[in-house]
Structure formats: C-alpha cells, structure tokens
C-alpha cells in the first residue's frame, strides 16, 4: 500500500458545541436555539481559536451531510478554492488528499446537526436518509426499517456463532459510561454496571437500551493543515499517519455482507492498508475510537483489525481490555453511547485530545497512536492519528 498520504497533513484545531448543556436544556423543555448551520458555525469559530489562525487562512471547506455546502460557506465567509460534502471519516481522507495534491493548504471540516430539536427519525417508514442511503429501507414492506433492527438481526447471528454473551456485550456500555463519567462534556455521566445493563429494557433483542446511541444536537469542527505548515504553527500538531477504505457493495442492498460476514473482509483489507501506510501494527495503538451507533460495532472492529482473533472479542472485552487502563481503551470520551452522537465527528476530536494529552482523568498514558474505525453503510474506513 502506498504511503504517499502518511504525514502529509495534521490536525491543528478542534472545536465543538456545548452538547451536554444543550441536551439538558432540551430535556427541560427549551427549544434548541441554533439550527444545524448555526451549530456548525459555533464549532468552527472555536476550532479557529484553538488553531490560532484567522478565517482568511482557510482555503478549503468540507461540510457534513447534514448541512448544505454553499450555504455553509456563505455563513462562514469562506470562498474556498476547494471543497465539498462528506461524512466525518471521508472528510478527513479528502482533506488529506487535497493537501497532498496541492488543491488546498488549510481545510476546515465542519458538521452541525439539530437532530433532537428537529425530531429526526432514525427508524420507521420515514427513516432519515431513505432508500438513497439506508439500504435496509428497501425491506420496509416487511416492517424492517430501522438501523437497530439491522444490527440486532446481525448480532444475534454473530452471538450464536461465536458464543459471545449479553454479559460480555454489556462491557462496551459499561466501559464507555466510565469514560463519560470523567468527561465534563459528556451527555450521560452516571456510571452503570453490567447488572444495570442486563436489567435495562430490550429495544430490539438482543440489543438493550444501553446498546443504542444518543440523539442530541451539536456541532464539531476540525482544522487540517499541511504538515509542514502545521509544524511551524504549533508544537503539538496531530499527524494523520494513515488512512484506508474498502467498500462492500456486492449484495449490499440485500444486506448480505453485513448479516453474514460482519464487515470482517472489508476491515481486514483496510487494516492492511492503514497499518502499512502508518508503519505501525495493532500492538502499537494506544487507544481506539470506534464508530458506535450501536455497541456491537466494537467487538466486530476489534476482530476485524486484529486486536483479537475472530470469535474472541467477547473474552477480550470481558477481561477489561477496552476500559480505561486496559490494553486498548475504546471510545475514551464515552463515544456515541454516552458522550454525544455526532455521527463519527466527535471521535475525531477525541483522538486529537488524546494525542495532545489534554483529557485529564480519562487520559490514556503515553498515548502515541489512536486508531479511528468506522464500519457503517457497507464501507469500512480507518484513520490513524499520532504524534
């Protein structure tokens, strides 16, 4: 695998909105004060401040799929010479490629989503995204219209094949809530036990309430810059050491790849790409940030990327490896389950915070490399951040 994109770009600025405060206000009956564009704009302003640069230095712009590109640029006052729209993981990859190609030097990645205020529906006949994005909607005539149903069906089969138990799966929610309890920005901070997890209601068996992500308003922004320029700007730029992607398209709308192979072939191919590009292996990774719209993403990624052998994730988690202080702390901010559901964007800023060493009580000791993994919508994507 080519290493031409390794150490080409670095993250120099991060920002996000006050999602804990906003969530509490919403629960108290207050309407959200900002729409998705406003939330993204606030995060962008904070990211610029963190980077220590002016808006006029930004010559590239990528916006999340929840905001229109042209309007976002207009509101931010950015006439980008290069830009577009992408999800969190592809936005980082595209910014890196643009910098490598000389299309931009400083790229702002901005995301805002007022999904809770807007009562976005992630299940049912009117599920967000529709058939253009969420392939399970093709199965609506049979009542199969939610992501929770998809992952429940998939993981039930996985559990029967591997012997992974509900007690072992509960370790994900427990570990991430522990991390969230040490994160002042997290929406959910009350610690839970495996017993609490098992006593919680099923939403779609075998998935309990604590296996599901939050739904909240918020915004996230990153400033990515050429590595050469980043080193001159600040002493602690967070380098992008490796990126990788592999899509499972054959049989995708039938859901077959996910239901029978659990992303494993795609993850293994991406692992070869991203670790080779970064020049590291699973043993070198200090922490993993794994897209967790549902908790079952974590055991699948642990196996797919070689942190444990296929079929052994249950034991790996039960032995405490994914908790803070363990072999591979996972989603150290609390992730989508407990910190904030920002569709993968929040994981990027947590990776940056861990590499910088600014996470306080939840800081991973001597954190050198953080692996971000996403395996949604039939595609596997990875990014390795590091010093």
In the chain, the DSSP E strands lie at 9-16, 60-63, 82-85, 106-113, 202-204, 207-208, 218-226, 238-247, 287-290, 369-376, 379-386
- Say how far apart CA 383 and CA 362 lie, in whole Å: 21
Among candidates 297, 267, 271, which has minimal Cα distance to 284? 271
SS3 247: strand
Q: Which residue in 291, 305, 372, 385 is the catalytic one?
A: 291
SS3 321: coil
- The residue count of the chain comes to 387
- Say how far apart CA 36 and CA 47 lie, in whole Å: 17
- Are 295 and 211 in contact by the 8 Å Cβ rule? The answer is yes
- Say how far apart CA 377 and CA 134 lie, in whole Å: 7
- Are 229 and 105 in contact by the 8 Å Cβ rule? The answer is yes
- Are 68 and 34 in contact by the 8 Å Cβ rule? The answer is no
Q: If you write DSSP's letter for every residue of 182-236 in order, what string do you get?
A: T-TT-S------HHHHHHSPEEETTEEGGGBPP---EEEEEEEEEHHHHHHH-S-
> What phi, psi does 75 have (nearest 5°)?
-65, -40
- Are 20 and 341 in contact by the 8 Å Cβ rule? The answer is no
- 212 labelled catalytic: no
Which secondary-structure segment (H or E) carries 50?
A: helix 36-51
- Are 249 and 380 in contact by the 8 Å Cβ rule? The answer is no
- 341 labelled catalytic: yes
SS3 41: helix
Q: Which residues are catalytic?
A: 291, 341
């Amino acid at each position: 695998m080519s290493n031409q994109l390794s150490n080409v770009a670095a993250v120099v600025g991060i920002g996000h909105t006050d999602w804990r405060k906003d969530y509490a206000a919403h629960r108290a009956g207050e309407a959200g004060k900002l729409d998705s564009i406003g939330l993204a704009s606030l995060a962008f302003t904070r990211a610029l401040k963190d980077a220590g640069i002016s808006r006029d230095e930004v010559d590239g712009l990528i916006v999340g799929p929840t905001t229109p590109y042209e309007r976002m640029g207009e509101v931010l006052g950015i006439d980008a010479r290069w830009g577009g729209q992408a999800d969190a993981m592809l936005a980082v990859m595209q910014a890196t490629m643009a910098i490598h190609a000389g299309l931009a030097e400083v790229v702002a990645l901005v995301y805002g989503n007022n999904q809770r205020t807007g009562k976005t529906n992630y299940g049912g006949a009117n599920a967000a995204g529709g058939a253009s994005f969420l392939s399970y909607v093709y199965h609506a005539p049979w009542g199969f219209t939610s992501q929770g149903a998809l992952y429940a069906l998939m993981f039930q089969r996985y559990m029967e094949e591997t012997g992974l138990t509900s007690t072992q799966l509960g370790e994900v929610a427990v570990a991430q809530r522990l991390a969230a309890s040490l994160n002042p920005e997290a929406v959910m901070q009350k610690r839970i036990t495996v017993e609490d997890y098992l006593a919680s209601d099923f939403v779609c068996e075998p998935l309990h309430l604590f296996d599901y992500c939050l739904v909240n308003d918020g915004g996230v922004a990153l400033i990515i810059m050429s590595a050469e320029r980043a080193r001159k700007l600040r002493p602690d730029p967070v380098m992008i050491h490796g990126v990788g992607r592999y899509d499972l398209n054959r049989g995708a709308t039938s859901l077959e790849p996910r239901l029978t192979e659990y992303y494993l072939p795609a993850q293994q191919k991406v692992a070869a790409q991203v670790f080779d590009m970064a020049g590291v292996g699973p043993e070198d990774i200090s922490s993993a940030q794994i897209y967790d719209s549902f908790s079952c993403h974590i055991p699948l990624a642990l196996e797919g990327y070689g942190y444990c052998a296929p079929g052994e994730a249950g034991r790996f988690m039960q032995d405490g490896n994914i908790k803070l202080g363990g072999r591979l702390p996972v989603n150290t901010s609390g992730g989508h389950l407990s910190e904030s559901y920002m569709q993968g964007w929040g994981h990027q800023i947590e990776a940056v915070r861990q590499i910088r060493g600014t996470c306080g009580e939840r800081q991973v000791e001597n954190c050198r490399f953080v692996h971000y993994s996403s395996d949604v919508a039939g595609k596997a994507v990875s990014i390795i951040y590091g010093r």
